[in-house]
Amino acid sequence: MADTDTLTGTLTGTLTAAATGAPDFSGWSCPMPLRDYPRVVMGHGGGGAMSAELVANVFGPAFASATQAALADSAALTLGGARLAFSTDSFVVRPLFFPGGCIGDLAVNGTVNDLAMSGARAAYLSCAAILEEGVEMSVVGRVAQAMGAAARAAGVEVVTGDTKVVESGHGDGLYLNTAGIGLIPAGVDLRPQRARPGDVVIVSGEIGLHGVAIMSVREGLEFGVEISSDCAALGGLVEAMLAVTPDLHVLRDPTRGGLAAALNEIAAAAQVGVTIVERSVPVPPQVANACAILGLDPMYVANEGKLVAFVPREHAEAVLAAMRAHPLGAQAAVIGECVAEHPGMVVARTALGGTRVVDLPLGEQLPRIC
């Protein structure tokens, strides 16, 4: 019989201390800017508080009844008796090609992963391209080939598309959009709102690789070792996890805004606290080094092939084992737990025994990362 205290051994002790010995955060509030921006700034696309505010204040009210749903990366809906997940993302990453991938496989995996976070296996994708006049046809061809290969790898079919061309100087080579639909299996109900105190927080592997890979090529930085994006499709990993139990509570892929944004969104949506042990978060040395040089926090750096799971404690050990048995979850680790204290807030226990608030990022550390 699984002994979750063995599983989360050190963690449980540390977390309890963190939860009970932490400073009183009751007067604290998230620094949502709530400012009137007369014009769009880069931060509105960063996936942090400014993005959330743009959606909440501009798009949400316009779409009226759909306010909440429109905020979702992936919508769960019923159509013709089928329970479907439906999701979309545009991709404006620069450069178009980077170590470990390109905008093409990113566009496929990004939407496949958004669907997977609803528990759905992606079935069909759309692909819409906005080409800039003058872009080399060979670039378009390589990107299309990468999309096709990624789609076949993920077992998803591209069934409908669109191509537009804009004048030179009104694009950046190539922008892509994918939307996807997939079936949500019976009994699966994955939503940020379902996080519950007691849930164990598991991350599927090392964080920060996508963001640092983009940064290294964009800024011409070298960190001694080439860092590749972790861009990958997570549908198979999620299926392995759901085979343990359909009763996972939340899955989230920590893309723009990193792990910090994902955990904050969940904490806010469920009005629960999240407590993590900083040293248990798997940060590979090359990411740690790059972040140290650049003055960044790995918690805020984008990932494209990782997920964070909120798992009922009784299933945590089996789910962790299933993840580790999958190639994309081999480095899976328990990083914290969901608590009743400090609702809406993410708190990290630092390596030195201190406690800090892990804020929702405001804008972005690095724009156009996906």
In the complex with a second copy, which residue's Cβ is closer, 239 or 341? 239
Min. distance of Cβ 221 from a second copy in angstroms?
20
Rounded Cα distance, 91 and 312, in Å? 34
x/- string (CB under 8 A) for a second copy, residues 54-83?
xx--xx-xxxxxx--xxxxxxx-x-xxxxx
Q: Applying CB under 8 A, does 33 fall inside the site for a second copy? A: no
The count of residues interacting with a second copy (CB under 8 A) is 89
User: What does the buried/exposed string (b/e) look like for 163-198 if buried means 16 or more CB atoms within 10 Å of the residue's CB?
Assistant: eeeeeeeebebbbbbbbbbbbbeeebebbbebbebb
| Contacts of a second copy in 131-170 (CB under 8 A) | 131-138, 140-141, 144-145, 147-148, 151-152, 157-167, 169-170
Q: CB-based contacts of 318: which residues, under 8 Å, 6+ apart?
A: 2, 244, 245
Q: Applying CB under 8 A, does 191 fall inside the site for a second copy? A: no
The CA radius of gyration of the chain, in Å to the nearest whole number, is: 20
x/- string (CB under 8 A) for a second copy, residues 226-265?
----------------------------------------
Min. distance of Cβ 96 from a second copy in angstroms?
13
Three-state secondary-structure class, residue 233? coil
Three state DSSP letters for 245-298: CCCCCEEECCCCCHHHHHHHHHHHHHCCEEEEEHHHCCCCHHHHHHHHHHCCCH
Min. distance of Cβ 266 from a second copy in angstroms?
17
Min. distance of Cβ 108 from a second copy in angstroms?
10
By CB under 8 A, name the one of 15, 18, 19, 44 that touches a second copy.
Answer: 44
Rounded Cα distance, 275 and 5, in Å? 17
Q: Applying CB under 8 A, does 98 fall inside the site for a second copy? A: no
2 closest CA partner among 200, 153, 161: 200
In the complex with a second copy, which residue's Cβ is closer, 77 or 288? 77
- The Cβ of residue 213 has, within 10 Å, a number of other Cβ atoms equal to 27
Min. distance of Cβ 360 from a second copy in angstroms?
16
